[in-house]
Amino acid sequence: MTGSPSSGHPVTPLADAARAILAANWTGRSTVPSRTLYPHQWSWDAAFNAIGWSHVDPARAAQELESLLGAQWDDGRIPHIAFHAGVPEEAYFPGPAFWRHGATSGITQPPVHPVAALEVARRGAGPAFLERVYPRLAAQHDYLARSRDARGAGLAAIVHPWESGLDNAPAWDEPLAAVDASGVSPYRRRDLDHADPADRPSDAAYDRYVLLAERYRERGYEDGDLRAWSPFLVEDPLFNALYLAGAHALAEIAARVGADPAPHRAAAERIHAALVDRLWDEEHGRFAPYDLVAERFVDRRSIVSLAPLLDPDLPAERVDRLASELASEHFWDPDGAGVTSYDRLAGDFEPRRYWRGPAWANTNWLLARGLRAHGRGDLAARLDEATLWLVERGGFCEYFDARTGEGHGSRDFSWTAALVLDILER
């Protein structure tokens, strides 16, 4: 497992530590994001973790994704959590007893999996792997197109902040504030058993998270006419940029397995057109989440606005704008490192609280990937270096204070290790 000069893998202490964290978080079938805070398998984490594993053990990388796909619903949705049997209910809230859908949750997460599957295949998982996962990954996209396209324009809407992956982002404050949480059933948070309350969401936010999940559960997780029932309904630029990147990846996978790439190319064109037209807030000159309940853009300078860099067909003028915004003082501390998850200059910027300011390895990695595809390797390299700088100072934490590198959230966090490995291998 450990790298050696003859294996061709990096032998830096950082790479060794990253491999050791993945190995320690491996359960035999998949990787827990964290042994303490997140003791099950999470959807988009699995994609990042598979990319990390692809550098260490391609068979495990394939198994990671295929374990997750084993939890896929008949309607094609990939649940945001696949619960592990044998982990006590009290280990994580909301657990399987809350969701009441066997061993899975009922909401989804950003569809980054086709991108991960291609990365895994490139590093030797073999053509049979792609043949196995292709129909399932295509089904995930079909689900989003069929059930989450609330405006009928090609975008996928989210019904819960947890579906964004950036759960506690200030971008969701206004849509969440409009949700009446007075009817929420009693519950007990478990995250505070393992993490500092100053790093985690507030109780008011949790009440709304729980209430939204309960409402969806009461409907049997039927999407139906989303605009008629969902108290939270947002089109998120990050979710949709990954949906688009996934459509491109699916076209490539289809071509490799002898299926027809044309439907995926058509889907990509449609998502691209809708992203560029519908999620561009002309008034502020930026991409923004669209709140389908309030019928307006969310007016927050948040990292999700930079994610359309992942669109390979983004017009050059918009690439330039996003790249300048990313490198501006709103997101980049000249004395620190990495892109902050929220505007550093905003009055409610919080440098250490979950998604409300800290830098994260996965958002650095995604933005670097987008920049590289647009020929901005210079800025991408700065982001990669920033991630390494943060990990060298703060350890393999879940997130970091971008000014100091101090680590927060969970320690020995899998996607931080996985993406550091990907950076070092490159």
Residues near ligand 9WN (CB under 6 A):
33, 38, 42, 44-45, 80, 162, 165, 167, 191
If the CB atoms of residues 38 and 365 are measured against ligand 9WN, the closer one turns out to be 38
**Cα(2)–Cα(152) distance, rounded to whole angstroms?**
50
If the CB atoms of residues 78 and 130 are measured against ligand 9WN, the closer one turns out to be 78
If the CB atoms of residues 40 and 300 are measured against ligand 9WN, the closer one turns out to be 40
If the CB atoms of residues 53 and 134 are measured against ligand 9WN, the closer one turns out to be 53
C-beta neighbour count of 196 within 10 angstroms: 11
**Cα(361)–Cα(391) distance, rounded to whole angstroms?**
9
At its nearest, how many Å lie between ligand 9WN and the CB of residue 202? Answer: 13
**DSSP codes of every residue in 257-296:** HTS--HHHHHHHHHHHHHHHHHSEETTTTEE--EETTTTE
Instruction: Name the catalytic one among 311, 350, 398, 401.
Output: 398
Token pair 């709140």 is found at 291
**Cα(96)–Cα(305) distance, rounded to whole angstroms?**
33
At its nearest, how many Å lie between ligand 9WN and the CB of residue 7? Answer: 29
Instruction: Name the catalytic one among 16, 75, 131, 167.
Output: 167
- Which residues are CB-neighbours of 349 under 8 A, at least 6 positions away? 340, 342, 343, 356, 357
Question: Does residue 167 carry a catalytic annotation?
Answer: yes
DSSP 8-state secondary structure symbol assigned to residue 85: T
If the CB atoms of residues 65 and 253 are measured against ligand 9WN, the closer one turns out to be 65
If the CB atoms of residues 33 and 96 are measured against ligand 9WN, the closer one turns out to be 33
Output the six-digit token pair for 7.
């294996």
Phi, psi of 291 (to 5 degrees): -90, 110
**Cα(345)–Cα(322) distance, rounded to whole angstroms?**
17
At its nearest, how many Å lie between ligand 9WN and the CB of residue 206? Answer: 10
- Cis status, amide bond into 312, omega within 30 of 0: no
Contact 214, 280 (CB under 8 A): no
By beta carbon distance, the residue nearest ligand 9WN is 33
At its nearest, how many Å lie between ligand 9WN and the CB of residue 180? Answer: 22
If the CB atoms of residues 9 and 215 are measured against ligand 9WN, the closer one turns out to be 215
The dihedral built from the CA positions of residue 387, 389, 395 and 397, taken in this order, carries a sign that is negative
The three-point CA angle 191-383-170 to 5° equals: 40
At its nearest, how many Å lie between ligand 9WN and the CB of residue 320? Answer: 29
At its nearest, how many Å lie between ligand 9WN and the CB of residue 42? Answer: 4
Contact 305, 237 (CB under 8 A): yes
**Cα(174)–Cα(183) distance, rounded to whole angstroms?**
19
Strand partners, 332: 339
| Residues acting as catalytic residues | 167, 398
